[in-house]
Chain A
């Protein structure tokens, strides 16, 4: 990509961030804009939702894991479950395997293992504290960020200002650099499973927010090391 485009994007996002900061309603969350980010540290996160429409659907569970250097700090992971007013649709239960019963059986504020059950706003508050000013890493991150913004925007008046790193985009660039393509752009499969397979990352867990965040973190680390070595 042209260098100047990247520069322009940087200028734009800085400007947008400044404008956002002025709109922040609660100064307790100023750290999102002004906080110190630790070097070489990123937050990988993923949510499971009641559906795929950020305008209507809600977050059911959210997992965020800190990446520091080559380490994925799973022991300090944030795992949140959010009880729903409306029932979770059958289709999405099939995907993320969180049943209505799971949310109801876990009482609010309960802490089982390292999973916390919190009401939506409190949960997102914990999430904001967890991510601080660190860059966010995800797979189709736009959707997850939109889901969080849907809570944050009406509450704090702003959207998440953190830098975003999209692993599917990193992967796309990596593959592009590997394939010596001519004028015709190669068709690169960006399915999560395909990426895992091609990068030879073992699929460690079942499909849930935590495993997805963990696998995404590993994709990110592997791609980073590929970029470094090339």
Chain B
């Protein structure tokens, strides 16, 4: 009877959960219970205080160095680690005599189990699983250090400013100067492009001429060395500010499919940043994947590219890049892929009368792993025969995406479904139906639709529909309040006393991140964005815009964004893990195995969840949800 609970407690803690009953019982029998009020201090060493502690309740911080004499001191102290419920501490001092003592400070009243070091050491000798864990974790610790060093190195590149990259000299010539003179200046400056001041009849002031343009001119008969250089120029200039992130420079190059950006400063132009130089800095596959998309000519090629994008995700994540940025890059690449596919499959004569929308998580640029696809096609001024041709090509489009590795949408929100392949007028009627006859499904469709972005074709079509949506919302203010309700429909998985609420599945404490954390933020922000008639789709951008408009306070907006980032990172990590265990894309779920998290991660999770809880309260007040629930 007596030690059952101790035994059950140990059973929840890795690596002790690997021990058999007998081993657990013998450890459980040697546990004492210790109580510490808040602000108490204690130490663990290899002498008199040789114990390993397990946290039953409370919160313990490990001090980075000597026990400070008084409390005032501790406020400025840095903590080495934090320990919350079900974590253990002191094992390092016990295992490694050279380390000296470990010092702890009780942050929140704590009740601990205490195991004598001798019992711990004996168990370590006797049970291989324990020995492996604690020896391996030493290596792991080193690895973690290494990883964090690597992470800084590569994030630095990503997050470095443009001016830290090699910037090629700026050559600027007047539009009226001859091709030959321009070429001479480029050679002199060892640059392969020049900025051209355009004559007044052009709509832009500046254009660019590159060595490729010169080659083309040389090959054609229209131009001779005495031609005015502006006739060759391309515009508008795509530029990047010298203090912008390199990452954004890469995105711009990707989006505009160009080889170089003009770098500008506050005082004018500075020079060129070429794709080649940029790739040299990144030295990873993001550029490669991009080039592959450009070269791809068949579905099989796209399939290879999609796999490379996946590898890229794993790599970037491992390097510690924020999920938000990974998502941005991946979505850019995916869109590029869709664009290419559209050009391949759509009847050529109809391509300028359609718009392909990506919606839902893809529209928000928040999909990192290809868990599903939500897309639609809008067309205008198309006759019946052409509609049939479009629908046929869209069926091929969906089939192709599935083959490439985008699992089909379970709700059939795909271009192959005639409901999501309609004329502008058709969509207008559809929108009206969703408003006039609100159903759960209608709400969901509207939510997905509001997150839409154009991946190919006419952006004006979506704009027209969005305006209709806003005017409908304006006419029907009650609608949003009902629409917002679902942000509160799932409980935040955090208990009254601040602990994590988990479901126990096959012996693992699990928690649904999507329902409990991500969805309330995404949907709540979506509702606020609709009300503010924002055109942004990405949740982070919406939050930023809401902060600018004063709907969210600066401080809370930042907190909300960071919480979302953290949830997405955990979700990605958990999905990547599941994938590494052989789970298919379509079968990836959103449950998070809490036991696989370190105590620090668990703590952060709790904090982030409390932000969700606060956001829900804000929504409740803002939309007066208690009246409509």
Known: A205-B4, A210-B1. Is A74-B35 also a contact (CB below 8 A)? no
In the bound complex, residues from chain A placing their C-beta under 8 Å from that of B109 are 200, 222
- A202–B56 contact, CB under 8 A? yes
Q: When chains A and B are docked, how far (Å) is the Cα of A229 from the Cα of B109? A: 13
A133 in the interface (beta carbon within 8 A): no
Q: Are A70 and B34 in contact (CB under 8 A)?
A: yes
Could you tell me the distance in whole angstroms from the C-beta of A56 to the nearest C-beta in chain B? 25
- Among listed B24-32, B152-160, B517-525, B532-540, interface-contacting one: B24-32
**172-230 of chain A: CB within 8 A of chain B:** 200-202, 204-206, 208-211, 214, 217-218, 221-222, 225, 229
A34 at the interface (CB under 8 A from B): no
- Once the chains are docked, how many angstroms separate the CA of A201 from the CA of B110? 9
Q: Count chain B residues whose beta carbon lies closer than 8 angstroms to a beta carbon of A.
A: 24
Chain B 7-40, CB-CB to A under 8 Å as 1, else 0, gives 0010000000000000001000111111111001
Taking a contact as CB atoms under 8 Å apart, the answer to whether B2 and A77 are in contact is yes
Q: Which of B2, B3, B6, B29 has the most CB of A within 10 A?
A: B2
Mask of B24-67 contacts with A, CB within 8 angstroms, 1/0: 01000111111111001000000000000000110000000000
Q: Does A89 contact B (CB under 8 A)?
A: no
The yes or no answer to B581 lying at the interface (CB within 8 A) is no
Name A52-96 residues within 8 Å CB distance of B: 61, 63, 70-77, 79
Nearest-neighbor residue (CB-CB) of A48 within chain B: B1
A113: contacting residue among B3, B31, B35, B114, CB under 8 A: B3
Instruction: Indicate if A13 sits at the interface (CB-CB under 8 A).
Output: no
Chain A CB within 8 A of B558 CB: no
Q: B37 to chain A: which residues have CB within 8 Å?
A: 222, 225, 229
> Which size class do A's interface residues fall under?
20 to 34
In the complex, which of the residues A204, A208, A218 has the most CB atoms of chain B within 10 Å of its own CB atom?
Answer: A204
Contact B33 A74 (CB under 8 A): yes
Contact A225 B31 (CB under 8 A): no
Q: In whole angstroms, what is the CA distance A97 to B25 when docked?
A: 21
Provide the residues of chain B in CB contact with A225, threshold 8 Å.
35, 37
B551 contacts chain A at the CB level, 8 A cutoff: no
Determine whether the beta carbon of B32 is less than 8 Å from that of A70. no
Given A200-B497, A218-B111, A221-B35: A75 in contact with B29 (beta carbons within 8 A): yes
Q: Which residues of A contact B35 (CB under 8 A)?
A: 70-72, 218, 221-222, 225
Give the residue of A113, A114, A201 whose beta carbon is less than 8 angstroms from that of B111: A201
Residues of A within 8 A of B504 (CB): none
With an 8 A cutoff between CB atoms, is B267 at the interface? no
- Contacts A75-B30, A114-B29, A218-B111; A204 near B36 (Cβ below 8 A): no
| Bound CA–CA A214/B1 (angstroms) | 13
Q: Given A72-B34, A201-B111, A218-B111 in contact, is the A206-B29 Cβ separation under 8 Å? A: no
On whether the beta carbons of A74 and B31 are closer than 8 Å, the reply is yes
Question: Once bound together, how far apart are the Cα atoms of A209 and B4, in whole Å?
Answer: 13
Contact B34 A71 (CB under 8 A): yes
A221 contact set on B, CB distance < 8 A = 35
Q: A202, B57: Cβ atoms under 8 Å?
A: yes
**Residue in B6, B37, B40 whose Cβ sees the most chain A Cβ within 10 Å:** B37
Q: Are A74 and B56 in contact (CB under 8 A)?
A: no
Instruction: Answer yes or no: A115 CB below 8 A from chain B CBs.
Output: yes
B212 at the interface (CB under 8 A from A): no
Inter-chain contacts of B36 with A (CB < 8 A): 70
**Residues of chain A contacted by B25 (CB below 8 angstroms):** 113
Q: Does B580 sit within 8 A of A, measured CB to CB?
A: no
Docked Cα-Cα span, A201 to B57, in Å, equals 8
B5 at the interface (CB under 8 A from A): yes
With A63-B2, A79-B1 given, is the CB distance from A73 to B32 under 8 Å?
A: yes
Assembled-state Cα–Cα distance A225/B37 (Å):
7
Q: Is the CB of A204 within 8 A of B1?
A: no
The one of A75, A115, A217 in contact with B1, judged by C-beta atoms closer than 8 angstroms, is A115
Residues of B contacting A71 with CB < 8 Å? Answer: 32-35, 114
Query: A10 to nearest B CB, angstroms?
Result: 28
Binary per-residue interface labels of chain B (296-322) against chain A in the complex, 1 for a CB within 8 Å, 0 otherwise:
000000000000000000000000000
Provide the A147-169 mask, 1 if CB < 8 A to any CB of B, else 0: 00000000000000000000000
Q: Give B29 Cβ to nearest chain A Cβ, in Å.
A: 6
Tell me the minimal C-beta distance from B4 to chain A in angstroms: 7
Choose one: A73, A74, A206; the contact of B6 (CB below 8 Å): A74
**Chain B's nearest CB lies how many Å from the CB of A42?**
13
Q: Which residues B454-499 have CB closer than 8 A to chain A?
A: 497
- B31 near A75: Cβ-Cβ < 8 Å: yes
Beta-carbon contacts under 8 Å, A114-132 to B? 114-115
Known interface pairs A74-B31, A202-B111; A115-B2 also in contact (CB < 8 Å): yes
Asked whether B1 lies within 8 Å of A61 as measured between CB atoms, the reply is: yes
Give complex CA distance A204, B31 in Å: 14
User: B114: which A residues are within 8 A, CB to CB?
Assistant: 71
Interface centre among B35, B40, B109 (most CB of A within 10 A): B35
Across-interface contacts of B34 in A (CB, < 8 A): 70-72
Residues on A with beta carbons closer than 8 Å to the beta carbon of B33: 71-72, 74, 214, 217-218
Which residues of B sit under 8 angstroms from A205, Cβ to Cβ? Answer: 4-5
Q: Residue of B at shortest CB range from A204?
A: B5
Judging by beta carbons under 8 Å apart, are B32 and A113 in contact? no
| Residues in chain A near residue B3, CB distance under 8 A | 74, 113-114
In angstroms, Cα B3 to Cα A206, docked, is 11
A74 lies within 8 A of B497 (CB): no
- Closest A residue, CB atoms, query B35: A221
CA distance A202 to B57 in the complex (A): 7
* Residues in A whose Cβ lies below 8 Å from that of B57: 200-202
Residue in B32, B56, B114 whose Cβ sees the most chain A Cβ within 10 Å: B32
Q: Which residues of B contact A70 (CB under 8 A)?
A: 34-36, 40
Complex formed: what's the CA distance from A217 to B6 in Å?
16
Would you call B2 and A206 a contact (CB within 8 A)? no
A72 touches B32 (CB 8 A): yes
Q: CA–CA, A217 to B111, complex, Å? A: 12
Binding site for A on B (CB under 8 A): 1-6, 9, 25, 29-37, 40, 56-57, 109, 111, 114, 497
Selected A-B contacts with CB under 8 Å, 7 pairs = A75-B29, A79-B1, A201-B111, A210-B2, A211-B2, A218-B33, A218-B111
Known pairs A74-B31, A202-B57, A210-B1 / 16 extra A-B pairs, C-beta < 8 Å:
A70-B36, A71-B114, A72-B32, A73-B32, A74-B32, A74-B33, A113-B25, A115-B1, A115-B2, A202-B111, A204-B9, A205-B4, A205-B5, A214-B33, A218-B111, A229-B37
Q: Measuring CB to CB, which residues of chain A are less than 8 angstroms from any residue of chain B?
A: 61, 63, 70-77, 79, 98, 113-115, 200-202, 204-206, 208-211, 214, 217-218, 221-222, 225, 229
In the complex, the 5 A-B pairs of residues with the closest C-beta atoms, listed nearest first: A210-B2, A205-B5, A72-B33, A221-B35, A225-B37
